């Protein structure tokens, strides 16, 4: 089952396309990172996934064919929005009560235990909590709904490094223990390196890279060799060339087994390196073959 | 990690594969908890207004009873007690102060309802919960609309009691001013229209909040739209609810809401006040009052005798309740339409 499936999805605000021709299939069971520079369309895509906004073109479905925002989708998709909006004048326990009232499932015991563990007092107004505590409260409210899919928009933007670490640890625990699929956006690549096992790279409203992190990393190598020979390399497709004086660094689509030209060295790449290389080459893309070609409109359950 | 094979919530679906919606009552606590401060504020405000109106009303009714009981009516003492009656509650006498109550409820309960969620971003939380965005909106709008309408209806019963002496039939005999029951300013404080205006103000606020999406501008817009609608209704629309009575008779009941009075000459041409004054000056200078307006019954008799006729259009006091139902009816229809429009905008997902 795909947690998110989009077909030539587009969203236009006025005359500007915030997202266009986006075709994706994100399989279940991953922590999927939606990465891209500011203004790439990350928030737009997530708003479409959780049903906050409606597409201008194309279509999308969540959790195997449900229309975003439909009752079935709302039951199963929990959303932690950017800046983790909470009712600031409501106490932590009132926020729990509100969320419990508005959802079919709510694990009150889990929520209370988690907040207790985090040392977040139930009586305190949510507006008086620290940024990290607010993010943890929002995450707790989302997880206590026992969703199949947890969507988070820049959940760590406001957090300090320690709070970030704790937050991501909570997300990973939920993903591992409860089998929650996670889709989160971030423009900070480094913080996703240890966390995400599925990568979607969004740039200028288009999907540039999509796939499992392991497969992506296995399919790319960084070749280092003399600058003079950089342009003559043609054994494998080159994504990006970076020159530094005498040496050139080539990000190529190749595996560790592919032959290396004499005088060159081959290194494995990291996720951040890979993402940066693609972001610098907006025309390059790495997408699964099944997506984006001869696409039929997604059938959306009504 | 285990791959998901089916929705864990599938058990909640019925045989048609449709998820039954969450019961509406889930929203009662949520609505109360989120709006209890504003609702308490309105309750306190209405309470203060009610206490003031009640205390003034006790004085007013007491003075009125004293003026009624005074004998002989033409005595100096009775003159004093009737002017005593007229002197009480003058700030409430034309009703305009109390007209602000629905506007304030619309501005401070209706307008922030959605604009605060949109301004602070909490709609991203509220509208992604299982209850669903349009049902969340409808539940809140309906519950709060009911609350403010009931409160307004209750306090308008107090207003009805307060203004009773102004409309009492005994006034004319006492030579106290008797107000027409359809008088603008007082008409919509009584009966069902006060609650209806409060409901409409709330609904205007709700829609303004959704359209404008910012708290303060939507409050200002609500006040402006409400004031325009109320003024337009009182000044232009209300007199047309039923075709007014047109009469040549000069014996218009004191309870009538007179819309216009126009003199015509023997050829059926309208005569303005200036010409009328000239006629009277020409006939008998003693008859013309200030500005050439006929000032007494003998003047009227003089004009009638010389072939002039006055056509008066008015709405009789007996139409109070028909007018109440008409105004209450269209305000209710308007409010339902505004609430429906708000819910549709929320549902359309135009974010």
Of A75, A78, A102, Cβ closest to residue B26: A102
Q: What integer best gives the mean pLDDT of chain A?
A: 88
Across the interface, whether the CB atoms of B9 and A104 are under 8 A apart is answered yes
Reference A283, options A230, A204, A223; nearest CA is A204
- How far, in Å, are A6, A51, B128, B137 from residue B131 at the CA level? 25, 13, 8, 10
Across the interface, whether the CB atoms of A1 and B13 are under 8 A apart is answered no
For residues B137-157, give the mean pLDDT. Answer: 97
List A residues 55-114 in contact with B (Cβ-Cβ < 8 A).
Answer: 63-64, 66, 69-72, 74-79, 81-83, 85-90, 94, 97-99, 101-105
Shortest Cα distance, chain B CAs vs residue A213, angstroms: 16
Q: What integer best gives the mean pLDDT of chain B?
A: 86
Across the interface, whether the CB atoms of A145 and B33 are under 8 A apart is answered no
Across the interface, whether the CB atoms of A148 and B127 are under 8 A apart is answered no
Reference B139, options B20, B22, B31, B19; nearest CA is B31
Of A50, A94, A146, Cβ closest to residue B33: A94
Nearest-Cα residue of chain A relative to residue B14: A72
Q: Check whether B32 has a pLDDT greater than 70.
A: yes
CB of B96 closer than 8 Å to CB of B198 = no
Distance (Å, rounded) from C-alpha A252 to C-alpha B150?
Answer: 72
Nearest-Cα residue of chain A relative to residue B120: A85
Distance (Å, rounded) from C-alpha B115 to C-alpha B121?
Answer: 10
Shortest Cα distance, chain A CAs vs residue B19, angstroms: 6
- B23 interfaces chain A, CB cutoff of 8 Å: no
Residue A184 half-sphere exposure toward CB, CA atoms < 13 A = 29
- Split at pLDDT 50, 70, 90, the class of B96 is confident
Nearest-Cα residue of chain B relative to residue A106: B130
CB of A222 closer than 8 Å to CB of A250 = yes
Shortest Cα distance, chain A CAs vs residue B143, angstroms: 16
Contacts of A72 (CB under 8 A, 6+ apart): A63, A66, A301, B7, B9, B13, B19
Lowest mean pLDDT among A266-270, B227-231, B238-242, B292-296: B292-296
Tokens of A271: 């996720």
CB of A232 closer than 8 Å to CB of A225 = no
- How far, in Å, are A26, A177, A184, B25, B29 from residue A106 at the CA level? 26, 17, 22, 17, 16
Q: Check whether A57 has a pLDDT greater than 80.
A: yes
- B126 interfaces chain A, CB cutoff of 8 Å: yes
List A residues 167-196 in contact with B (Cβ-Cβ < 8 A).
Answer: 175-176, 179, 181
CB of B159 closer than 8 Å to CB of B151 = no
- Split at pLDDT 50, 70, 90, the class of A228 is confident
Note the pLDDT tens digit of each residue in B183-201: 888 899 999 999 999 999 9
Place of tokens 């907006």: A282
**Which alpha helices (H) appear in chain B, and where do they start and end?**
26-69, 76-87, 90-93, 100-105, 111-120, 123-126, 133-167, 171-174, 193-212, 215-232, 273-283, 297-305, 320-347
Which of B4, B23, B40, B345 to mutate to test binding with chain A, by most A CBs within 10 Å of its CB?
A: B4
Q: Check whether B31 has a pLDDT greater than 50.
A: yes
Distance (Å, rounded) from C-alpha A183 to C-alpha A167?
Answer: 14
Across the interface, whether the CB atoms of B29 and A97 are under 8 A apart is answered yes
Per DSSP bridges, beta strands A238-244 and A77-80 are unpaired
The β-bridge partners of B246 are B313
> What pLDDT is stored for residue A122 in this prediction?
95
Note the pLDDT tens digit of each residue in A161-197: 888 888 889 899 988 988 899 999 987 787 788 889 9
- Split at pLDDT 50, 70, 90, the class of B321 is very high
Residues in chain A: 302
> What pLDDT is stored for residue B180 in this prediction?
82
Q: What angle do CA B37, B42, B47 make, to 5 degrees?
A: 125
- Split at pLDDT 50, 70, 90, the class of A293 is very low
Q: What is the ipTM of this complex?
A: 0.90
Q: Check whether B291 has a pLDDT greater than 80.
A: no
Of residues B4 and A110, the one with the higher pLDDT is: A110
Q: Check whether A156 has a pLDDT greater than 70.
A: yes
Shortest Cα distance, chain B CAs vs residue A300, angstroms: 14
Tokens of B248: 């040549």
Residue spans of the domains in chain B: they are 24-242+319-347, 245-317
> What pLDDT is stored for residue B178 in this prediction?
66
Across the interface, whether the CB atoms of A29 and B19 are under 8 A apart is answered no
Nearest-Cα residue of chain A relative to residue B351: A53
Q: What angle do CA A301, B4, B5 make, to 5 degrees?
A: 65
Q: Check whether B293 has a pLDDT greater than 80.
A: no
Shortest Cα distance, chain B CAs vs residue A162, angstroms: 25
> What pLDDT is stored for residue B172 in this prediction?
54
Which contacts of A247-254 are long-range, i.e. CB under 8 A and separated by 24 or more positions? A248/A224, A249/A222, A249/A223, A249/A224, A250/A222, A250/A223, A250/A224, A250/A225, A251/A220, A251/A221, A251/A222, A251/A223, A251/A277, A252/A220, A252/A221, A252/A222, A252/A223, A253/A219, A253/A220, A253/A286, A254/A219, A254/A220, A254/A221, A254/A223
For residues B162-187, give the mean pLDDT. Answer: 75
Shortest Cα distance, chain A CAs vs residue B5, angstroms: 7
Q: Check whether A300 has a pLDDT greater than 90.
A: no
Name the range with the highest mean pLDDT among B1-10, B168-177, B230-239, B290-299. B230-239
Across the interface, whether the CB atoms of B18 and A71 are under 8 A apart is answered yes
Nearest-Cα residue of chain B relative to residue A99: B129
Q: Check whether B11 has a pLDDT greater than 90.
A: no
Residue A106 half-sphere exposure toward CB, CA atoms < 13 A = 19
Residue spans of the domains in chain A: they are 2-214, 221-268
> What pLDDT is stored for residue B8 in this prediction?
43
- Split at pLDDT 50, 70, 90, the class of B177 is low
The whole-model pTM stands at: 0.88
What's the N-to-C CA distance of chain B in angstroms?
35
CATH code for the domain defined by A2-214: 3.40.50.300
Q: DSSP assignment, residue B142?
A: H
> What pLDDT is stored for residue B253 in this prediction?
81
- A13 interfaces chain B, CB cutoff of 8 Å: no
């Amino acid at each position: 089952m795909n947690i998110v499936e989009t077909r030539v999805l587009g969203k236009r605000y006025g005359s500007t396309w915030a997202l266009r021709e986006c075709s994706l299939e994100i399989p279940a069971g991953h922590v999927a990172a939606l990465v891209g520079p500011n203004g790439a369309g990350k928030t737009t895509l997530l708003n479409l996934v959780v049903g906050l906004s409606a597409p201008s073109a194309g279509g999308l479905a969540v959790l195997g064919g449900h229309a975003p925002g439909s009752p079935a989708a709302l039951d199963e998709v929990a959303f932690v929005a950017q800046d983790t909006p909470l009712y600031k004048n409501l106490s932590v326990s009132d926020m729990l009560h509100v969320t419990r009232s508005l959802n079919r499932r709510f694990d009150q015991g889990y929520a209370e235990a988690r907040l207790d563990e985090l040392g977040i007092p139930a009586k305190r107004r949510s507006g008086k909590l620290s940024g990290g505590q607010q993010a943890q409260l929002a995450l707790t409210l989302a997880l206590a709904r026992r969703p199949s899919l947890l969507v988070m928009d820049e959940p760590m933007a406001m957090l300090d490094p320690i709070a970030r670490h704790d937050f991501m640890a909570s997300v990973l625990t939920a993903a591992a223990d409860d089998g929650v699929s996670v889709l989160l956006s971030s423009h900070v690549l480094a913080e996703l390196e240890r966390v995400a096992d599925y990568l979607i790279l969004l740039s200028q409203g288009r999907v540039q890279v999509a796939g499992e992190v392991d497969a992506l990393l296995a399919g790319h190598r960084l070749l280092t060799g003399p600058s003079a020979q950089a342009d003559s390399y043609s054994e494998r497709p080159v994504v990006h060339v970076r020159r530094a004086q005498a040496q050139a660094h080539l990000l190529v689509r190749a595996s560790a087994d592919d032959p290396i030209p004499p005088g060159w060295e081959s290194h494995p790449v990291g996720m951040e390196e890979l993402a940066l290389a693609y972001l610098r080459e907006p025309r390059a893309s790495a997408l699964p073959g099944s997506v984006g070609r001869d696409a039929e409109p997604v059938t959306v359950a009504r | 990690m285990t791959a998901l094979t089916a929705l864990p919530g599938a058990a909640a679906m019925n045989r048609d594969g449709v998820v039954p919606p969450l019961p509406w009552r889930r929203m009662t606590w949520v609505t109360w908890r989120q709006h209890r401060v504003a609702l308490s504020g309105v309750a306190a405000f209405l309470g203060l207004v009610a206490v003031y109106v009640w205390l003034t009303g006790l004085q007013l009714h007491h003075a009125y009873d004293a003026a009624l009981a005074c004998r002989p009516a033409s005595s100096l003492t009775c003159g004093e007690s009737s002017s005593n009656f007229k002197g009480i509650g003058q700030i409430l006498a034309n009703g305009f102060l109390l007209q602000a109550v629905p506007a304030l409820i619309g501005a401070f309960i209706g307008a922030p309802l959605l604009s605060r969620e949109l301004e602070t971003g909490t709609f991203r939380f509220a509208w992604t919960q299982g209850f669903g965005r349009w049902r969340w909106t409808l539940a809140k709008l309906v519950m709060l609309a009911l609350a403010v309408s009931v409160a307004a209806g209750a306090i308008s019963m107090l207003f009805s009691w307060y203004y009773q002496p102004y409309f009492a039939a005994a006034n004319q005999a006492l030579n106290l001013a008797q107000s027409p029951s359809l008088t603008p300013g007082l008409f919509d404080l009584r009966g069902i229209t006060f609650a209806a205006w409060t409901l409409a103000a709330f609904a205007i606020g709700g829609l303004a909040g959704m359209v404008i999406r910012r708290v303060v501008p939507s409050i200002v817009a609500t006040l402006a739209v409400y004031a325009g609608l109320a003024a337009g209704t009182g000044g232009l629309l209300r007199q047309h609810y039923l075709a007014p009575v047109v009469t040549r008779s000069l014996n218009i009941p004191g309870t009538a809401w007179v819309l216009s009075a126009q003199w015509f000459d023997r050829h059926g041409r309208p005569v303005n006040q200036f010409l009328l004054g000239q006629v009277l000056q020409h006939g008998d200078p003693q008859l013309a009052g200030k500005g050439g307006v006929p000032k007494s019954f003998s003047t009227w008799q003089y004009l009638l005798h010389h072939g002039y006729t006055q056509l008066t259009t008015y709405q009789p006091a007996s139409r109070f309740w028909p007018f109440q139902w008409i105004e209450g009816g269209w305000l209710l229809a308007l409010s339902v339409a505004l609430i429906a429009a708000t819910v549709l905008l929320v549902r359309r997902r135009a974010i």
